[in-house]
């Protein structure tokens, strides 16, 4: 008897066109409201339009977790029409497993951070002096807007003290006094009248909804590009991927947002404002020292006639107050060849991320003057001698080269993320024992002379090896201690990944299967 799941799997398999190089293999990672589709390297797969309709139907029948763990599905379709569908909720992907859900890479804190001093929710009314100052700025904005447009701005009346206090109780924190005062004036700016420049306040219900545990986090997974860069000015915003006490309160309706920072860095101030979102590819960008300062900038721009009113009939009015700075230092050099690294030092003195492509020979020791460099990526070089001990901020090094002199890495103190690839010669891993901060390591693109040192790295939490390297470790009985996540690059089947995961964990991993034929 055919079950609903078997029928859905058959429909999915019928949407796969098999080639002439063996079975077609499709992997699906379903989670977080999205589906990622991948294939093994070298396998020819052609998906018919019906495949995607069938995928939606199949997803409704499979146990997609509601949390962060995805559903991983493998579909194998043979030329004969026979198919096998396997699925698991215990893997991160077809080649990855997370062993410690609470692990985070450096500068990626979990929710549950301590409440900053002076930020406790008290229910007390807004400071009268701050309320008077913000009220005066708001009233001047309304007056000048009306002079420009010939009508008052379409701003809804503000919240009561009780409504603001109720929102703060839900947030678990007291909002800055000037933001409270702004919400006393108006609930939002849905008409985009320019009250906060190109940004508009969210209603308080949205502020509460968007401030969820784990929200406002960038690349928090163990396999993500996870170096957290410094915002400008340095020491103003904490160098973190997320913070419980960054409160999103405004939007430009184009996937960019403003947040107030209740937990600033050493040189910052509570209540400062920063921007993050689609147009901010690096760390948060500092905007203003406070909501009051942001409002003052808008009113000053209107006083000076520094605004854009392209459509007088529209409510929209634009000033450029509240625009963030120019981003963080990132430099990419293509076709570097035999050029001198002194050129890089001269042109990239403020770089935090540096990419060098297609160099002949490189010794990064010449980059020592780059005191803020945190990530260095070298692609397709011929020879690299990674002398990086004098780069005091370096956290991530990725080297792809025909030859890598790994001994030059010895005793680098800050490096926690290392990826090696491309070497024509087997690399000696002994030097890894001298790297005290090493947390994540990817050796899947090189041959190692001896994998034994991997069992002597107690700080190593994320390890990426290819299938042959993992098999060699297993045969030698060497299982790296304290791994929080691992990847088996170049895996060929979900069953192989499940078997490897069982060896890593010592626990059976259920793999559910459905078989049938497309005919």
Q: Is residue 401 located within the same domain as residue 454? A: yes
pLDDT of residue 324: 61
Q: Is residue 79 located within the same domain as residue 171? A: no
CA geometry: angle 379, 380, 385, nearest 5 deg: 80
- Percent helix, strand and coil across the chain, each rounded to 5? 25, 25, 50
Using DSSP bridges, classify how beta strands 417-421 and 440-445 pair: parallel, antiparallel or unpaired.
parallel
- Residue 189 is assigned to a structural domain of this protein: yes
- Residue 323 is assigned to a structural domain of this protein: no
Cα(62)–Cα(202) distance, integer angstroms = 37
Q: Which two tokens stand for residue 167?
A: 């929102």
- Residue 481 is assigned to a structural domain of this protein: yes
Q: Is residue 402 located within the same domain as residue 470? A: yes
Q: Encode pLDDT of 35-44 as tens digits.
A: 899 988 777 7
The answer to whether 274 and 231 have CB atoms below 8 angstroms apart is: yes
Q: Is residue 337 located within the same domain as residue 297? A: no
Q: Is residue 297 located within the same domain as residue 393? A: no
Give 323's pLDDT tier (boundaries 50, 70, 90): low
Number of domains in the chain: 3
Q: Which of 268, 303, 338 is the last residue of a domain?
A: 303
- Residue 249 is assigned to a structural domain of this protein: yes
Question: Which structural domain, as residue segments, surrounds residue 136?
Answer: 128-303
Question: DSSP label at 73?
Answer: E
Cα(236)–Cα(285) distance, integer angstroms = 10
- Residue 336 is assigned to a structural domain of this protein: yes
Number of residues that make up the chain: 519
Q: Is residue 294 located within the same domain as residue 152? A: yes
- Residue 511 is assigned to a structural domain of this protein: no
Q: Is residue 77 located within the same domain as residue 220? A: no
Task: State yes or no: pLDDT of 1 exceeds 50.
Answer: no
Per-residue H/E/C for 136-190: HHHHHHHHHHHHHHCCCCCCCECCCHHHHHHHHHHHCCCCCHHHHHHHHHECCCC
Q: Is residue 297 located within the same domain as residue 390? A: no
- Where is average pLDDT lowest: 15-24, 286-295, 422-431, 477-486? 15-24
Q: Encode pLDDT of 441-456 as tens digits.
A: 999 999 999 999 999 9
| pTM score | 0.92
- Where is average pLDDT lowest: 47-51, 257-261, 413-417, 468-472? 47-51
Mean pLDDT, residues 502-515: 92
Q: Is residue 295 located within the same domain as residue 344? A: no
- Residue 190 is assigned to a structural domain of this protein: yes
Using DSSP bridges, classify how beta strands 353-357 and 361-362 pair: parallel, antiparallel or unpaired.
unpaired
**Percent of the chain scoring above 70 in pLDDT:** 97
Task: State yes or no: pLDDT of 460 exceeds 80.
Answer: yes
Give, for 205, the enclosing helix (H) or strand (E).
helix 204-210
- Residue 399 is assigned to a structural domain of this protein: yes
Buried b (16+ CB within 10 A) or exposed e, 185-207: bbbbbebbbbbbbbbbbbbbeeb
Q: Encode pLDDT of 474-491 as tens digits.
A: 999 999 989 999 999 988
- Look up the CATH number of the domain holding residue 338: 3.80.10.10
Selection from 217, 227, 247, 246 nearest residue 68 by Cα: 217
Q: Is residue 228 located within the same domain as residue 339? A: no
Q: What are φ and ψ of residue 168, in 5° steps?
A: -65, -35
Cα(180)–Cα(121) distance, integer angstroms = 12
The residue with greater pLDDT, 159 or 22, is 159
- Look up the CATH number of the domain holding residue 176: 3.40.1580.10
Q: Is residue 475 located within the same domain as residue 389? A: yes
The answer to whether 59 and 34 have CB atoms below 8 angstroms apart is: no
Q: At what angle do helices 291-303 and 128-149 cross, to 10 degrees?
A: 30
Mean pLDDT, residues 325-337: 85
User: Residues 312, 316, 322, 327: is their CA dihedral positive or negative?
Assistant: negative
Q: What are φ and ψ of residue 178, in 5° steps?
A: -75, -25
Q: Is residue 137 located within the same domain as residue 272? A: yes
Selection from 305, 298, 313 nearest residue 141 by Cα: 298
């Amino acid at each position: 008897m055919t079950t609903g799941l078997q029928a859905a799997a058959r429909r999915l398999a019928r949407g796969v066109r098999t080639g002439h190089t063996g079975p077609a293999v499709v992997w699906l990672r379903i989670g977080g409201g999205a589906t990622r589709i991948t294939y093994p390297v070298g396998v020819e797969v052609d998906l018919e339009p019906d495949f995607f309709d069938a995928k939606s139907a199949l997803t409704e029948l499979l146990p997609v977790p509601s949390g962060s763990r995805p559903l991983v599905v493998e579909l194998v379709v043979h030329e004969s029409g026979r198919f096998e569908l396997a699925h698991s909720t215990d893997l991160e992907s077809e080649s990855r497993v997370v062993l410690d859900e609470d692990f985070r890479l450096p500068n990626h804190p979990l929710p549950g951070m301590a409440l900053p001093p002076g930020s406790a929710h008290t229910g007390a009314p807004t400071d009268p002096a701050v309320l008077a100052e913000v009220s005066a700025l708001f009233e001047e904005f309304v007056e000048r807007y009306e002079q420009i447009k010939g009508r008052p701005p379409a701003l809804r009346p503000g919240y009561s003290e009780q409504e603001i206090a109720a929102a703060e109780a839900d947030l678990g924190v007291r909002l800055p006094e000037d933001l409270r005062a702004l919400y006393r004036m108006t609930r939002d700016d849905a008409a985009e009248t320019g009250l906060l420049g190109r940004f508009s306040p969210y209603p308080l219900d949205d502020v509460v909804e968007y401030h969820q545990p784990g929200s406002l986090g960038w690349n928090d997974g163990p396999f993500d590009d996870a170096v957290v860069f410094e915002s400008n000015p340095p020491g103003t915003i904490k160098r973190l991927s997320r913070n419980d006490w960054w409160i999103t309160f405004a939007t430009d309706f184009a996937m960019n947002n403003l947040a107030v920072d209740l937990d600033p860095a050493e040189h910052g101030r509570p209540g400062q404002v920063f921007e993050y979102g689609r147009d901010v590819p690096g760390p948060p960008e500092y905007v203003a020292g406070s909501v009051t300062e942001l409002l003052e900038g808008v009113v000053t721009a209107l006083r000076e006639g520094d605004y854009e009113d392209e459509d007088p009939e529209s409510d929209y009015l634009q000033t450029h107050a509240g625009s963030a700075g120019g981003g963080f230092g990132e430099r990419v050099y293509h076709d570097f060849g035999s050029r001198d690294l002194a050129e890089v030092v001269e042109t990239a003195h403020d770089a935090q991320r540096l990419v060098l492509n297609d160099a002949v020979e490189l010794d990064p020791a010449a980059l020592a003057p780059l005191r803020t460099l945190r990530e260095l990526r070298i692609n397709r070089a011929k020879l690299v001698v990674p002398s990086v001990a004098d780069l005091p901020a370096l956290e991530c090094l990725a080297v792809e080269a025909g030859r890598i002199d790994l001994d030059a890495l010895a005793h680098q103190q800050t490096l926690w993320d290392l990826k090696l690839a491309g070497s024509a010669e087997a690399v000696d891993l002994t030097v890894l024992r001298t790297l005290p901060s090493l947390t994540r390591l990817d050796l899947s693109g090189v041959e190692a002379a001896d994998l034994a040192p991997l069992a002597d790295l107690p700080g190593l939490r994320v390890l990426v090896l290819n299938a042959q390297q993992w098999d060699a470790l297993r045969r030698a009985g060497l299982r790296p201690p304290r791994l929080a996540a691992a990847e088996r690059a170049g895996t060929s089947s979900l069953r192989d990944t499940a078997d490897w995961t069982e060896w890593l964990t010592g626990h059976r991993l259920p793999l559910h299967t459905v078989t049938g034929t497309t005919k």
